[in-house]
């Protein structure tokens, strides 16, 4: 039986997760570095863009997500364009429904992300360490796959097709494949 979780609690938990692993957004036209807001709306110094962090678009493309997931007509939507669009990359369908987000960070951000309600269990097969989430305290439906390799970390989150439902847009094995692809392109 699924536990009902307040959408606000879930959003705050995800903001904490994604902010912990999300370096600052880079403005595409100017290359200017900004900071990513925390769950409380403040900016975090640890979320500063690190010069070793690549543009997330060089790690994962819409075409990659379509090929791996089998979904078509996907597009990127801007950070903050919806309540859930809190990733460095936010993938939506042609109707604008958000399907998945991706964030990148360093090993410290990855370690911090494991300390909260977004961590469920350690798994293997991608990077030197990886996990799935969120914890059972948040949801019985796994929607997060995170992996680290060296000092690089990639976290992807998918969404359920219906509020309170159990069917996700991109199953965990496909998220794992996408995270592995992004980590592989990052190098290290």
Domains of the chain, by residue range, sit at: 7-186
8 A C-beta contact, residue 114 and residue 107: no
Query: 118-123 contacts: CB < 8 A, separation 24 or more?
Result: 118/13, 118/14, 118/16, 118/17, 118/144, 120/144, 123/176
Query: Between the ranges 10-14, 90-94, 120-124, where is the mean pLDDT highest?
Result: 90-94
Question: In the 8-state DSSP scheme, what is residue 98?
Answer: E
Q: How does pLDDT run across 31-47, given as a tens digit for each residue?
A: 333 333 332 222 233 33
Taking the model in full, what pTM does it have?
Answer: 0.72
88-113 mean pLDDT: 91
pLDDT above 70 (res 84): yes
Residue 117's pLDDT band (boundaries 50, 70, 90)?
A: low
pLDDT above 90 (res 168): yes
């Amino acid at each position: 039986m699924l536990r009902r979780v307040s959408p606000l609690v879930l959003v705050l938990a995800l903001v904490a997760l994604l902010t912990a692993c999300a370096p600052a957004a880079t403005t595409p036209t100017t290359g200017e570095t900004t900071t990513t807001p925390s769950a409380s709306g403040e900016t975090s110094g640890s979320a500063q863009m690190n010069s070793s962090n690549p543009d997330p678009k060089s790690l994962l493309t819409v075409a990659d997500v379509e090929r791996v997931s089998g979904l078509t007509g996907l597009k990127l939507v801007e950070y903050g364009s919806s309540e859930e669009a809190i990733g460095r990359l936010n993938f939506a369908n042609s109707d604008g429904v958000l399907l998945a987000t991706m964030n990148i960070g360093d090993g410290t951000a990855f370690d911090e992300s494991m300390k909260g309600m977004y961590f469920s269990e350690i798994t293997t097969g991608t990077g030197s360490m990886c996990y799935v989430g969120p914890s059972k305290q948040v949801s019985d439906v796994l929607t997060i796959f995170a992996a680290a390799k060296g000092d690089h970390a990639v976290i992807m989150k998918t969404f359920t097709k219906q509020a309170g439902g159990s069917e996700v847009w991109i199953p965990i094995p496909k998220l794992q494949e996408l995270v592995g692809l992004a980590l592989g392109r990052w190098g290290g």
